C-alpha cells in the first residue's frame, strides 16, 4: 500500500493497536496524527477499512 495524505493505517503500539491518518507524505518519510487505540487487531483492521471507505474486510489474518 502506498502512503497518501488522508489515508488511514494502523500499527502496533505497546499492547494496543493504534489507527493513524497520514498528514504529510514525502519521498523521505511521512507524518501522521493519532486517531484511536484498539485492544484487538481485528478491530483496528475493521476501523481502517471503514475510515478509508473500503467496505468490510472479507478475511482478517495476521501475516507476521
Q: Is residue 28 part of a domain?
A: yes
Give 51-63 pLDDT, tens digit per residue. Answer: 999 999 888 888 7
Give 1-58 pLDDT, tens digit per residue. Answer: 678 999 999 999 899 999 999 999 999 999 999 999 999 999 999 999 999 999 998 8
- Tally the C-alpha atoms within 13 A of residue 6's C-alpha that lie toward its C-beta: 2
Q: Is residue 62 part of a domain?
A: no
Q: Is residue 59 part of a domain?
A: no
Q: Is residue 64 part of a domain?
A: no
Query: Domain of 26?
Result: 7-52
Q: Cα separation of 19 and 16, whole Å?
A: 10
Q: Specify the number of domains making up the chain.
A: 1
pTM tops 0.85: yes
Q: Is residue 13 part of a domain?
A: yes
Q: Is residue 21 part of a domain?
A: yes
Q: Is residue 16 part of a domain?
A: yes
Whats the size of the chain, residue-wise? 64
Q: At residue 18, what are phi and psi to the nearest 5 degrees?
A: -110, 140
Amino acid at each position: 500500500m502506498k502512503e497518501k495524505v488522508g489515508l488511514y493505517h494502523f500499527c502496533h503500539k505497546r499492547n494496543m493497536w493504534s489507527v493513524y491518518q497520514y498528514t504529510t507524505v514525502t519521498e523521505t518519510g511521512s507524518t501522521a496524527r493519532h486517531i484511536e487505540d484498539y485492544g484487538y487487531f481485528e478491530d483496528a483492521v475493521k476501523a481502517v477499512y471503514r475510515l478509508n471507505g473500503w467496505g468490510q474486510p472479507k478475511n482478517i489474518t495476521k501475516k507476521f
